[in-house]
Chain A
């Protein structure tokens, strides 16, 4: 069975029905997108690790009402990318996944540099790209010139 089927089953088992969105046409570049509650993040990532996926990127989106962390994972087969989306309030701190995937360490440092999202239990939260003494977070929509600052439903409906 293809790895993406395996991981889809595992994730569907641990998440509520409406949280999962499949797209076999690969229109947005992912074959499967799941809304993961912030408490179940580590479990979901562990399931992906067991299915031999690798962490491709961690990024964050800044909306007026919430942050959204997007974890993209991929494996070495064709068209298998999945996305895990975590809604995280402006003051919440999600758990780190750097002990499961070491590549997450730098990704989380970068997200912290740009958005001030702290990842709990992370062994290293030093600034990666920003200078050590920077106290501003550039990619937040409250910093610098900004064209648009929406609520989440304006884009994802």
Chain B
């Protein structure tokens, strides 16, 4: 299902895997910004930990020639999202600014959306999140605190987008590229995560989108994600040359 991108902005992110060090700054920043529940030891043991953005680590090779690769994974905000058409109550939809939106108070917890997501970026609150009373002081009032039975996922920090757009409107000016940052892109110390408006040809994300290292995850699924990755470079890699065949499925 394609969407009608009528919004002024089309939000997107570029993830430079070559710069990602795996430091988890993005994970904690997101946790703090979006009131993500505390993942207890039991949740990890049951495979139910919630992390709107996670840094995956893949091994290649064996000791002593082993390599580890890091890749941050978050909601890809797919234009052809497989999670959107399956929701029986329209709790998830694609808005005009390219965001895959989750409406918490509409969600009834069927979990069909998570079933459809190939990236495992949707997380269900199987239990009521527990916040010791004093910890509620640091909850972000801009973000709903979810309860049991609700699906949640990365929202590209929509609360920051709204605040930024409102501020620009109040000041009667256009948005400046880089003014609105998601929590993860703001925190990333190497600037591996870059967030911005893909409709703005002068924005950093628009320019980086055309880099020759660009790729998307699982491209054969034709999801048209708004998150684009820049490939890792390994100067030790031996390059095998193959010609591009006609009728290729790439």
Q: Tell whether A pairs with B.
A: no
Residues in B lying within 8 Å of A, measured CB to CB = none
